[in-house]
Amino acid sequence: MIFGGVMAILEGIAAIARDDLFVATRHYVFQFSLSGWGWVHLILGIVIVLAGCAVLTGALWARYFGVVVAGLGAIANFLWLPYYPLWAMTLVAVNIFIVWALCTGQHREAHMGSAA
Question: Which pLDDT does position 87 carry in this prediction?
Answer: 87
Cβ pair 2, 52 in contact under 8 A: yes
pTM: 0.79
The Cα–Cα gap between 107 and 96 comes to 17
Supply the mean pLDDT for the chain. Answer: 83
CA-to-CA distance for 107 and 88, rounded, in angstroms? 29
Q: What is the pLDDT of residue 97?
A: 94
pLDDT at 75: 94
Tens digit of pLDDT for each residue in 1-17?
899 899 999 988 988 88
pLDDT for the residue numbered 58? 86
Burial class (CB in 10 A: 0-12, 13-18, 19+), 116: exposed
Question: Which regions of the chain are under pLDDT 70?
Answer: 19-32, 106-116
Answer whether 99's CB lies under 8 Å from 74's CB. Answer: yes
